[in-house]
Amino acid sequence: MKYVVLSFLTVGFIFSICLGGAAADDNQKLNVLFISADDMNCDLSVYGNPQVKTPNLQRLAEMGVRFDNAYCQQPLCGPSRASLMTGLRPDTLDMHTLKHELREKNPKVVTLGQMFRDQGYFSARAGKIYHYGNPSMIGTDGNDDPQTWDQRFNPVGIDRSQQEKITRYGAGRQNDKNLGISMAWWDPISRDEDHTDGMVASKIVELIKQKKGEPFFLAAGFFNPHCPYVAPKKYFDLYPLESIEMPDLEAAKKDLEDVPTMAVVRDKKNWPYYFKDVSVEEARKCKQAYYATISFVDAQVGRLLDALEEADLMEKTVIVFWSDHGYFLGEKGLWYKRKAFERSARMPLIIAAPGLSKDVATQKPVELLDLYPTLAELCGLDAPRNLEGASLRPLLADPKTKTWIKPAVTQVWHNRKSWGYSLRTERYRYTEWLQGKAGRELYDHANDPEEINNLADQDQHAVLIAALSKQLQPFVRLKLEKRPK
């Protein structure tokens, strides 16, 4: 009998460690380094675009799993980040805009960092995790949630303090207040640490050193590559302007011929590039600047990885890199986010977890709200029972597992008369605008990864569309006051 009891305890201990669970003392709990970028798409060398240099994200991917088909719940900073940090969909939170209303509408919600705090972790962030107006709210708490953190840090770099030096195009040429959505750039001769994101990295490096003896949840929230596109000149120099290619506008215009009007309702007025009177060459400069800011963020990620290595914490830390949504850079003549196309809904996601898969990728569709249950399971914590995502641990253990069949759902909401939902399976993207009343889209990613040909009106796909529509319906839970009267 004594032997049976000992065996049971041994098995239980091993099971706890395999899950990354907490053992008896804090030294055996897994830490979490939670790294975010703002508006970063998958134009990255780590995702197969050799032009855009991201060696440190490649380094991270070699330590873990790259998710090739990861999607946000809404391609807009505020609702996307609130959804990720609560594990709940925008409809559940009733959050679809940039308003600061998380606790107002959901006073009892337990956020991701709050869960870690409640269960013995030190929880802190530097920079942007919840929504911030960028750059207007840099240096403030923005739309942050105090209950998530033990400590919060809001550095201010020259990208904010000297923003009058930023070059503006289009509607923002003479408008200092319009930088939050702008075609604008600046390439100062400066140090990384002169910029807000460099300061964010420095603070997290400091906290890693200070807190290495206790379990921590540390969030590094980088503001780049969100516009205005500002980074030290050395990162711009990585991308000679003549090497930056722009999509042909005649072909781009044809791409939109079979798309429902509502799909690009915000983009049609001043097409292309969103703003009136932006030239192709000005857009090219902004694309160069966007790539420069990506490499700037990548360098800061490298500093964080170095700090973990120096503190001997690599085997004790789950590392997550994510962006809140994707981004258009002239494809289809479009710019920015807030669209249901792949380039807007998809973003990079990389997870490195001790004892699980390394240097592999998965093609399974996953969602940002899956991160909450994933980190709870890996760290052996009790998560709220109402989470709407699913733990990614099965994919971290076996990226090709056939048991993962969950689709990804992204929604777009402009106003009560303009909204839609998009479902992504391993092969297809299917979108309904006003539940099909304002149009549908169907793209076959096996043959059309750029979503050029909308198949929704072709009779041969009627059965498939009916099946995908039925699969999508349970996710359409927008409140009546946000629908047409």
251: left (phi over 0), alpha (psi -120 to 50) or beta: alpha
Which residues 6+ apart lie within 8 Å of 477 measured at CB? 89, 91, 92
Distance CA 394, CA 415 (A): 38
Q: CB-based burial of residue 149 (10 Å sphere; 0-12 exposed, 13-18 middle, 19+ buried)?
A: buried
Distance CA 176, CA 162 (A): 11
Distance CA 276, CA 258 (A): 24
96 tagged catalytic: no
195 tagged catalytic: no
- Six token digits for residue 235: 């990162």
Whether 53 and 298 have beta carbons less than 8 Å apart is answered as yes
Which residues 6+ apart lie within 8 Å of 286 measured at CB? 169, 183, 184, 185, 227, 229, 329
Distance CA 325, CA 343 (A): 9
Q: Which residues pair with 219 in a beta bridge?
A: 34, 125
- Six token digits for residue 119: 């269960």
Distance CA 42, CA 308 (A): 25
Tokens 């970028």 found at: 37
Question: How far, in Å, are 69, 356, 476 from residue 366 at the CA level?
Answer: 6, 18, 18
Quick one: which H or E segment has residue 352? strand 349-352
Choose the catalytic residue: 42, 72, 77, 286. 77
For residue 264, the tally of other CB atoms under 10 A from its CB is: 18
What are phi and psi for residue 434, nearest 5 degrees? 50, 50
E-only strand ranges, 387-478: 408-415, 418-424, 428-433, 440-444
Q: What is the DSSP string of 356-391?
A: S--SEEE-S-EEGGGHHHHHHHHTTPPPPTT--S--
Distance CA 93, CA 106 (A): 7
Which residues 6+ apart lie within 8 Å of 381 measured at CB? 22, 115, 116, 119, 375
Choose the catalytic residue: 96, 131, 226, 325. 131
Distance CA 50, CA 194 (A): 28
Residues with a known catalytic role: 77, 131
